[in-house]
Amino acid sequence: MLRNYLVTAWKVFMRRKLFTTINLLCIVLTLVVLMVVTSLLETAFRPSGVEGRSERFLQIVMMRMDSPDGSSVSTTPLGYKLIDKFLKPMPGVERVAAATLPSGAAVYQGERVSEMQMRRVDADYWKILDFRLLAGRLPTAADDAAGRMIAILNAATAKRLFPGAPAAAVGQHIDINGQNFEVAGVVEDAMHVNAFADVWAPISTFASSDYRNQLTGMFTTLILAESSADLPRIRRQVEAIAREVVHEDPKKWKTTRFWADSKLDLFARLTVGNDDTIDSGAGKLLAMIVAAMLVFMLLPALNLVNLNTGRIMDRRVEIGVRKAFGATSAQLAIQLVVENVLLCLAGGLIALAATAGLLAWLEHIQLIDYMRYDLNLAVFGWGMLIATVFGLLSGVLPAWKMSRLDPVHALKGAL
Amino acid sequence: MIRLNKVSKTYRTDKVETLAVKEVDLHVKRGEFVAMMGPSGCGKSTLLNLIGLLDRPGQGSIEVEGIPITRYRDRQVAKLRNSTFGFIFQSFHLIPDLRVIDNVELPLLYRSMPAGERRRLAREALEKVGLGARMDHFPNQLSGGQQQRVAIARAIVGQPQVLLADEPTGNLDSKMGAEVMDILLKLNAEGTTVVMVTHDEHEARRTSRIVRVFDGQLVA
């Protein structure tokens, strides 16, 4: 029976080539968009590359402070004192890292000035993230303690400043915002949210040590758990720690809150705006994304329903003949749906190839700096699942309608 | 074999109500070759569709082998059509995309039967109508007469007890029409019950019984 379905499907597709092409184009365009989005989400939120351990780390990017009467709210990055005094001593975690958010820095080389994104980070940062070292070495706790003026460049920056192999940059000196740094190492380019920067230096290289006394500032923190099972406990610990924090000006800011979030939670919190509760809104965000994807699929699916109805209507005599010779409505509906799903799966495979090409092109033109797009097996699986859902969405209704045709009318070519 | 008891059928459109068949009593016995004749629009084809369970009566009942099928569900009717009836249409109604052998195999797809067995029976049916050498052709590569023989092969491949033919020679010239008629007579002689709608008096006289229809009723 399946072989017959396949043969019939192939013949039907070949009978109306223009129709089939339009159907395929509709499917391919929709699926390419969905698969690119899926790939981006996959790259952003799944443990991969430099954030390969993200399934067991949490991050705190912002803290929220409320005035005593609740009329004023301030949202700001963390200060180093808060990380050093409250979070680093936290028991039951593998390590806690502090890093500034990326900020613009001017790099001087003779007459040339380059604008770059710089982070100052501590030694734990390099142990939580899996940067691939291309040349030289990574900073250590000893460098932090000694305040050594060393810098780490990513590969693109090293190549731009010191053309040649990454090793050519090691040992060179650069002037960043008036401070002189020796390049200690070169790491592979990375786009991930916690890793994004062109150049890194130890925190202790700040020109002033004021940062050590500030509860609010420009820092984020990464907390690495020993196991992903510890994350809920760590979240609760962080929530409790936040309650203990007393602002330097308690009359102005009475309560302080911050949350340890996974990457998805952080994205959801920033998107949905849930900064006053431990619930980041990730569930709501995922539901919104799924709903948006379904709506996005529904519109072309409706168009395909229309096209499919037209195509199946052309086959009403065939449907009448099959019914006359014993096909049930259910058998016909299954046959028509199988044909549509096959068409969508074919579209899925074409879309997959097109998506791979598009992602390679996006990576090549560096639409987003250092972004790497992977079309992995999970995306392939999602793509084919999406294609199947799309086939079902657009095939069931016309198949059901046409399978219920009265055989006498169908044989006359009428509806 | 098949009994129609006071069967009526009315077709309704938005404005018009047409009584196509009116209180018809008809008994088709096993092994008979019945020709149904009458002017165009008199209800012959409707009657044939009712006999073949392609249509349901508005009133009255239909019995197949003594079993009333009026209350049968879609699935049961489909199974009965598949096992008991074979249809031959005036316009052949072959599926143009499928090869001759695949067209003939079609009724067997709706039975639990291995593919090899289906293929063997389809080949035998085609050989029976003299088209064993045309199995891999497509319908549009055959003449009208050959296409109708393929349609006959499709109708008989499942070894049905009853063949229902709606003007099977209507689209054929006299020579090809005679060939098709010979095949039907041969099948009837081998035991298959045949009910045929025709306008051709000469063909009708070659059958065992002529039923005349006028204004939806049997007149002789």
How close B115 comes to chain A (CA, Å)? 8
For A99-148, how does the pLDDT look when each residue is reduced to its tens digit (9 = 90+)?
Answer: 999 999 999 887 888 899 999 999 999 999 999 999 999 999 999 999 99
Q: Is B49 an 8 Å CB contact of chain A?
A: yes
**How do residues B180-216 score in pLDDT, each as one tens digit?**
899 999 999 999 999 999 999 999 999 999 999 999 9
Distance from CA of A394 to the nearest CA of B (A): 24
Average of pLDDT values for A224-233? 95
Is B159 near chain A, with CB under 8 Å?
Answer: no
Pick the residue from chain A with its C-alpha nearest to B92. A321
In chain A, the percentage of residues whose pLDDT exceeds 90 is: 40
Residue B122 has pLDDT above 70, yes or no: yes
- Taking contacts as CB-CB distances below 8 angstroms, the residues of chain A near B109 are 1, 4, 327
Q: What is the nearest CA distance from A287 to chain B, expressed in angstroms?
A: 40
| pLDDT for residue A7 | 77
B95–A318: do the CB atoms touch at under 8 Å?
Answer: yes
**The pLDDT value given to residue A391:** 78
> In the Cβ-directed half-sphere of B183, how many Cα atoms lie within 13 Å?
27
φ/ψ region of B93 (left if φ > 0, alpha if ψ in -120 to 50, else beta) reads: left
Residue A343 has pLDDT above 80, yes or no: yes
Mutation target to probe the A interface, by most A beta carbons within 10 A, among B11, B50, B92, B93 is B93
Above 90 in pLDDT, residue B88?
yes
Over the stretch A355-370, which tens digit does the pLDDT of each residue have? Answer: 888 888 887 877 766 6
CB contact under 8 A, B102 and A322: no
Across the interface, whether the CB atoms of A4 and B52 are under 8 A apart is answered no
Q: How far is B117 from chain A (nearest CA, A)?
A: 13
A 10 A CB-CB count for A191 gives 18
B54 and A7 within 8 Å at the Cβ level: the answer is no
- The average confidence (pLDDT) of chain A is 87
Q: Which of A363, A378, A309, A407 is closest to B56 using CA atoms?
A: A407
Q: Tell me the count of A-B CB pairs closer than 8 A.
A: 66
Asked whether residue A183 carries a pLDDT value surpassing 90, the answer given is: yes
pLDDT at A370: 65
Interface test with B, best of A8, A325, A328, A412 (most B CBs within 10 A): A325
Is the distance from CB of B99 to CB of B120 less than 8 angstroms? no
Distance from CA of A375 to the nearest CA of B (A): 38
What's the Cα-to-Cα distance from A12 to each of A5, A17, A342, rounded to whole Å?
Answer: 10, 9, 12
Tokens representing A203? Answer: 């925190």
- Are the Cβ atoms of B98 and A322 closer than 8 angstroms? no
Put simply, the answer to whether A325 touches B75 (Cβ < 8 Å) is: no
| Cβ-based contacts of B110 with chain A (< 8 Å) | 322, 325-328, 331
Check residues A214 and A8 and name the one with the higher pLDDT: A214
Q: Cβ B78–A323 below 8 Å, yes or no?
A: yes
Q: Which one of A20, A316, A317, A328 would you mutate to disrupt binding with B, by most B Cβ within 10 Å of its Cβ? A: A328
Beta-carbon contacts of B161 under 8 Å, excluding residues fewer than 6 positions away, are B1, B30, B84, B85, B192, B193
Contact between chains at B93 and A7 (C-beta distance less than 8 A): no
Q: Is pLDDT above 70 for A379?
A: no
Q: Minimum mean pLDDT among A14-23, A97-106, A200-209: which range?
A: A14-23
Phi, psi of A274 (to 5 degrees): -85, 80
Which chain B positions have a beta carbon within 8 Å of A327's beta carbon?
A: 78, 109-110
Length of chain B: 220
Interface of A with B (CB under 8 A): 1, 3-4, 7-8, 11-12, 14-15, 317-318, 320-331, 406-408, 411
Identify which has the larger pLDDT, B164 or A1.
B164
Q: Are A324 and B95 a contacting pair at CB < 8 A?
A: no
- Cα gap A406→A386, rounded to integer Å: 33
The backbone torsions φ and ψ at residue A323, rounded to the nearest 5 degrees and listed phi first, read -65, -40
Contact at CB, A327 and B49, closer than 8 angstroms? no
List of residues 6+ apart from A383 with CB closer than 8 A:
A31, A34, A35, A38, A348, A351, A352, A355
Please answer yes or no on whether A4 and B109 come within 8 Å at the CB atom: yes
Half-sphere exposure of residue B216: CA atoms within 13 angstroms, side-chain side = 14
Give the model's pLDDT for residue A125.
97
The distance of A356 to chain B (nearest Cα, Å) reads 35
What are the chain B neighbours of A13 within 8 Å (beta carbons)? none
Determine the Cα–Cα distance for residues A106 and A104; give it in Å rounded to an integer. Answer: 7
Within 8 A by CB and 6+ apart from B191, the residues are B31
Q: In this model, does residue A161 exceed pLDDT 70?
A: yes
Q: Do A330 and B75 touch (CB under 8 A)?
A: yes
How far is B144 from chain A, CA to nearest CA, in Å? 18
The answer to whether the CB atoms of A324 and B98 lie below 8 A apart is: no
Please tell me the distance from the alpha carbon of residue B51 to that of residue A315, in angstroms, as a whole number: 25
Question: Band of the pLDDT at B136, cuts 50, 70, 90?
Answer: very high
pLDDT at A74 over 70: yes
3-state SS of chain A?
A: CHHHHHHHHHHHHHHCHHHHHHHHHHHHHHHHHHHHHHHHHHHHHCCCHHHCCHHHEEEECEEEEECCCCCCEEEEEECHHHHHHHHCCCCCCCEEEEEECCEEEEEEECCEEEEEEEEEECHHHHHHCCCCEEEECCCCHHHHHHCCCEEEEEHHHHHHHCCCCHHHHCCCEEEECCEEEEEEEEECCCCCCCCCCCEEEEHHHCCCCHHHHCCECCEEEEEECCCHHHHHHHHHHHHHHHHHCCCCCCCCCCEEECCCECHHHHHHHHHHCCCCCCCCCHHHHHHHHHHHHHHHHHHHHHHHHHHHHHHHHCCHHHHHHHHHCCCCHHHHHHHHHHHHHHHHHHHHHHHHHHHHHHHHHHHHHCCCCCCCCCCCHHHHHHHHHHHHHHHHHHHHHHHHHHHCCCHHHHHCCCC
In DSSP terms, which residues pair with A186 in a beta bridge? A135, A153
For the cut 80, the answer to whether the pLDDT of residue B35 exceeds it is: yes
When pLDDT is cut at 50, 70 and 90, the band that residue B176 belongs to is: confident
Please provide the average confidence, as pLDDT, over all residues in chain B: 92
Mean pLDDT of A10-24: 81
Residues of chain A with Cβ-Cβ distance to B93 below 8 Å are 317, 320-321, 411
pLDDT (mean) for A240-251: 84
User: What are phi and psi for residue B209, nearest 5 degrees?
Assistant: -155, 140
Extract the runs of DSSP E, i.e. beta strands, from chain B. Answer: 2-12, 17-28, 33-37, 59-64, 67-68, 85-88, 162-166, 193-197, 209-214, 217-218
* Mean pLDDT calculated for residue range B35-47: 92
